[in-house]
Amino acid sequence: MFNNLSSLPAYLASRRSGKPRDMVAPGPDADQLDALLRLAMRTPDHGKLFPWRFVKIDDRKAFAALLEKAFLADNPDARPAQIEAAIAPAHMAPALVLLLYAPQPSAKIPLWEQQLSVGAVGMNLLHAAHVFNFVAGWITGWASYSPVVRDAICTGDEQIAGLFYIGSAGQPLEERPRPDPAQIVRNWP
Ligand SMILES: Cc1cc2nc3c(=O)[nH]c(=O)nc-3n(C[C@H](O)[C@H](O)[C@H](O)COP(=O)(O)O)c2cc1C
């Protein structure tokens, strides 16, 4: 596990997502996964509303069956190869957790701020996985927007913010273009 605080900035600068389809064992065991989720929950959250939930997907076969049902609802004439591709996300990576946006009624805290908080939880989970020397990836894909999947997993107004895959890198991680701070950061006035 990462344990050199003096090199933390460099370590954070090295973080990048892994591709879920390339992830291999080892992934987090049950205790490590709970520790990762606990770290992810240490997230700014105006009003202490906790507008987020995690759903651990242990039974991958059941999740695959749900994805198949959801895919066929929208694509009743799908060919077997298309169904196979659609349910592939159910079998990727050693660990899979869904992050849900769970908006809470509040006279004071706008939903926008609650959405910001769930995004921060997602980022925090990626960082936590990295600190534990795992790779992680945040994917929404089609399943996050499927009403069939949502109805099976969410309650009330919850929405799927993403599927979080955690494991070890089976392939070298690819870097992606990072923004030029000169284009992103400005001074005011
Ligand atoms: C909300 C959200 C949803 C995403 N959904 C997908 C997706 O469905 N498919 C995909 O290839 N990448 C998706 N991405 C992007 C991946 O997470 C991407 O690999 C990541 O942004 C790489 O950045 P990083 O290396 O800094 O983590 C999504 C990102 C976010 C924030």
In a domain, 63, yes or no: no
**Ligand 1: which atom is nearest the Cα of residue 141?**
8
Can you tell me the mean pLDDT for 18-43?
98
**Ligand 1: which atom is nearest the Cα of residue 161?**
1
**Best substitution site from 19, 22, 138, 144 to test ligand 1's pocket, by max atoms within 8 Å of Cβ?**
138
Report pLDDT digits (tens) over 61-100: 999 999 999 999 999 999 999 999 999 999 999 999 999 9
d(CA 10, CA 189) in angstroms, rounded, equals 32
Residue 177 tokens read as: 């273009």
Atom 28 of ligand 1, nearest CA residue: 139
In a domain, 151, yes or no: yes
Its domain, for residue 52, covers 16-57+93-170
Report pLDDT digits (tens) over 104-143: 999 999 999 999 999 999 999 999 999 999 999 999 999 9
In a domain, 156, yes or no: yes
Q: Is any atom of ligand 1 closer than 6 Å to the C-beta of 140?
A: yes
- Measure the CA angle with vertex 18, ends 102 and 86; round to 5°: 65
In a domain, 157, yes or no: yes
In a domain, 73, yes or no: no
The model carries a pTM of 0.96
| Side chain identity at residue 183, one-letter code | Q
Report pLDDT digits (tens) over 144-185: 999 999 999 999 999 999 999 999 999 999 999 999 999 999
CATH code assigned at 151? 3.40.109.10
pLDDT of residue 6: 77
Residue 68 tokens read as: 């198949």
In a domain, 64, yes or no: no
- Beta-carbon contacts of residue 42 (< 8 Å; ≥ 6 apart): 124
- Flag whether pLDDT at 2 surpasses 70: no
Measure 18 CA to ligand 1 centroid, in angstroms. 10
Q: Is any atom of ligand 1 closer than 6 Å to the C-beta of 20?
A: no
In a domain, 184, yes or no: no
In the chain, helix, strand, coil percent, each to 5? 45, 15, 40
Measure 173 CA to ligand 1 centroid, in angstroms. 14
pLDDT of residue 28: 98
Per DSSP, 189 falls in state -
d(CA 105, CA 188) in angstroms, rounded, equals 35
In a domain, 104, yes or no: yes
Q: Considering its fold, how many domains does the chain have in total? A: 1
